[in-house]
Structure 1
Amino acid sequence: MLDRSNRANNRERNLLAKTSFMKHLSPAALESLLDSAQIISLPARSIIFREGESATAIYCLLAGYARLYRMGKDGRQADFRICTPGEVFAECLVFGGTHYPYSAQAAENVSLARLDAKDVRDLAERDPTVAKAMIAALSEHLIVTTETLVNDRLHTAPQRVADYLLERCPVDSGSASIRLPFQKNLLAGMLGLAPEALSRAFSSLKRAGVSVRGRVIQISDVKALREM
């Protein structure tokens, strides 16, 4: 039984209703998921679930960032996705699998909506809008994963960093300033780099006029960076 103190309040229900996963659901399905959502707040570095644990829920991130990663036999961690507010994760378990295939950790203070996986599965069998929303979420994540894999194969570390900056650059020429939304170690994980490899990449981009101060990235010549 869901603790009523953990039910979504009006603000949280509005946030959930606007997510890409829920915004196209039928009114009945949306109301059902909003009513059943359990809101959880966790401090930075908290484990949301661990690889190999029984998969009982999917999650929608309302605030903060979460990292998804796999653990190697030598204990090293490999990030493969950084989740941002409005995104769902672990949705792949709704239609198959009984254990989480990766771990999830709060990268900073987070607010999450927890949805019981069985409840979502049962609802998807009755309401096609839920099934379509799940397929759309899975398709989006597959596309992103494919692009990440291709970038890892075809681009050097400096090129990956440059591409990330250019995608978020507000101008096509001249100088620009970009503030990272999270710490650089999360950016490293997002780009498939070790933290030290990210530092070397930024150092190599200095010749293109890129300088780093904390989370603020200064680009003296956007066009030069684009032509690297």
Structure 2
Amino acid sequence: MSPVDAMKEADAVRAMRAAPMFSAVGEGAVRRLLLRCGLRRCSAGEAVFEAGQRAEGFFVVLSGRVKVFKLSPKGDEQILHLYGPGRTIGEAAMWAGLPYPAFASALQDSVLLPVPQATLRQCLASDPDLVMGMLAGLSAKLHEFARLIEELSLKDVPARLAGALLAESRRAGAPRFKLPQTKKELAAQLGTVPETLSRAFRKLKAAKLVELRGSVLVLRDSARLARFAGE
């Protein structure tokens, strides 16, 4: 059984086409790229790549979740992004000919599509639609980084938390969901510490915007929460 057979090919193609980079690319071209690259399975906690490692390709998350983070000189972790199915990681460094600027590791058992640069170049040479899709994906990534910089510099922690909870609710497709990361990881993602994050949660609960029911978080008023987040 080939690596792609182990995960249903149709499911893998669907996950790839959920990525902005491949959303405008024909299904046949996506399938050909998938079959040429194969799959990589990562256990929870397993490194995907390290900061400073040569970027010889990029990755598409097909299932699971991957965190991208940096380490301070003291070893403190700053989570930059959490990527789920349909997200791409590492393409900017690959095209720039630079090392990966951050670390990446699986938050949970995950299936990734590693796309080597040499393989991608061969596919791009014969498929203009793939070229346009790649440009769209890089543009979306730039907008995402700009949004992250704005949030970290202009918004306080409760507003950042509100935005993160709204984003997770949209990914879950419901106002009730389980947080996919620990509070420590969420605090690092928001550029703060767990104690400050706990105070932000208490502020949102006191305002009757969110409610915690066991391990399930409930957004009580998404519209008000969006205004609180500055959206």
TM-score by length of 2: 0.80
Alignment-derived partner of residue 206 in structure 1: 205
Distance 1:148 1:214, change over 3 A: farther
Answer yes or no: is 1:59 the counterpart of 2:56.
no
CA drift of 1:31 comes to: 4.0
Q: Which moved more, 1:74-83 or 1:204-213?
A: 204-213
Length, aligned pairs only: 220
Q: Deviations over 1:114-169 (max 9, x none)?
A: 11122113432443222222211111111111112111222110111223335666
Deviation >4 Å, runs of 4+: 166-170, 219-228
Amino acid at match of 2:3: N
Does the 8 Å CA contact 2:15/2:85 hold for their aligned counterparts? no
Alignment of 1:2-81 (within 5 A): 5-7=2-4, 9-20=8-19, 21-26=21-26, 29-81=29-81
Measured in 2, the distance between the counterparts of 1:224 and 1:98 equals 42
Q: What SS does the aligned partner of 1:100 have?
A: coil
Name the structure where helix makes up a greater proportion of residues: 2
Measured in 1, the distance between the counterparts of 2:221 and 2:57 equals 46
Name stretches of at least 5 consecutive residues in structure 2 with no aligned partner: none
**Pair member with larger Rg:** 1
CA RMSD, aligned part only?
A: 2.8
Does the 8 Å CA contact 2:169/2:177 hold for their aligned counterparts? no
Does the 8 Å CA contact 2:59/2:88 hold for their aligned counterparts? yes
Measured in 1, the distance between the counterparts of 2:33 and 2:177 equals 35
Name stretches of at least 5 consecutive residues in structure 1 with no aligned partner: 171-175
Measured in 1, the distance between the counterparts of 2:220 and 2:25 equals 45
Does the 8 Å CA contact 1:7/1:37 hold for their aligned counterparts? no
Measured in 2, the distance between the counterparts of 1:42 and 1:214 equals 29
